[in-house]
Amino acid sequence: MTKMIEKVANNKYNTEKLNLNQPEKVKEKLDYYRSLLGKTNDLSESEFEDLKSNIKTFFNLKPTRLQKQLPERLVRISNNNRILGRQGKELSYLTDITELLAPPIKYCGWNRCNLPEQQVLYCATNEATAYWEIKPQKGDVITISHYKLKEKAQANCSLIYKDKEPKPDKSHPLKEVFYLLDDFFIDVYSFPVSRDRPKDYIFSALLSAEQLFYPIPSKDNIEAIIYPSVQKKKFGHNVAILNDIIFDKYDLIGVETRFILDNYEDLDPTSDKLTTDNLIASFGTEAFDFEKGKILYDEKVNEIFPFLRKLQTLPSGQTRFSSDNMLLNLTKGKSTVTLNLNKNKK
């Protein structure tokens, strides 16, 4: 095989006149990278580090589709079992706002849009997509957080298109290279990766990190990446946004705790059906103390959580007789729940 090019553009600095490599040479290198998809987690440490360096050097020119508009609503699912288990705590409802956000830095590993120790908040644009991405399992307790875009809030968003261009414009080598790179971006951002093979994220993680964590501060720096949901077969969208700006752009308008009874198989990704069945009753709150970083509940939560958890884990199991969900409003100071679960206790 002939020696492949080192860079998209054979330039040392971005201030030089563009010296673009031939499109066929760019394609050859991209096809080589494609041959590695799904295999990079198996590389030795030295091979992996060499590939990282190679990728960083090669992409000195990137296709970028930008927009200022953020989605009006974001939804995120947090798994109470994992979050509290990691802290050595007993399973319960979440009380800290930080538990709704990206994990602590020491727990941030390779992911779709970040490198280890980089905090990126992953959200979906609707509840169904959030379920597809997180895939809650039978016995899980989850917390769904809802975010509403603040008035006039904007961000520099990089868009990864759902579909490739059917007839790319090849009237100029630069345009041809743009579409070659764009196709590659779509491929790596939509490539399925197993949770137990995190280093298979290397391409999208490196490309995202260079955008989201560009070392020189600027008003033009990318703050969020909007890309198709891999788990939902591209019939939904995810948003990877810098963790430390979420409350600059969005209001947290509510959280809800749900108890998963079962997870479904063979679902239609084009539908907005959830991937699980959950206990018919859940509870939520719309009250938060942002100064102290706390999620505020009515004191009845200490009766209701163990009661619903007990129903979830009954040896006989649960059967739903209705598709409706009874959401108990446990907002501190505004609770509508009057049920006394201790009234029959002796």
Helix/strand/coil for 277 = strand
User: Which class for 215: exposed (0-12), middle (13-18), buried (19 or more C-beta within 10 A)?
Assistant: exposed
Q: State the average pLDDT for the chain.
A: 93
Tokens coding 175 = 């345009």
179 contacts: CB under 8 Å, gap ≥ 6: 63, 165, 168, 169, 170
Summarize the confidence of residues 299-322 as an average pLDDT. 88
Global pTM value: 0.92
Confidence tier at 346 by pLDDT (50, 70, 90): very low
Region 297-310: mean pLDDT is 96
Q: How far is CA 334 from the centre of its chain?
A: 32
Q: What is the pLDDT of residues 244-290, one digit of tens each?
A: 999 999 999 999 999 999 999 889 999 999 999 999 999 999 999 99
Q: Name the E strands within the chain.
A: 66-67, 73-79, 120-124, 141-149, 157-159, 224-228, 237-242, 250-263, 276-278, 281-285, 287-289, 294-296, 326-329
CA-to-CA dists, residue 317 to 143, 204, 278, 312, 328, angstroms: 22, 41, 12, 7, 22
Share of the chain above pLDDT 90, in %: 81
* pLDDT at position 210 over 70: yes
Average pLDDT of the segment spanning 205-209: 97
Q: What is the C-alpha separation between 190 and 63, in angstroms, rounded?
A: 16
What is the DSSP annotation of 325-340? Answer: -EEEE-BTTT------
* Tens digit of each residue's pLDDT (9 = 90 or more) over 220-255: 999 999 999 999 998 999 999 999 999 999 999 999
Model confidence band, residue 345 (pLDDT cutoffs 50, 70, 90):
very low
pLDDT in tens, 33-55: 999 999 999 999 999 999 999 99
E strand spans, 37-192: 66-67, 73-79, 120-124, 141-149, 157-159
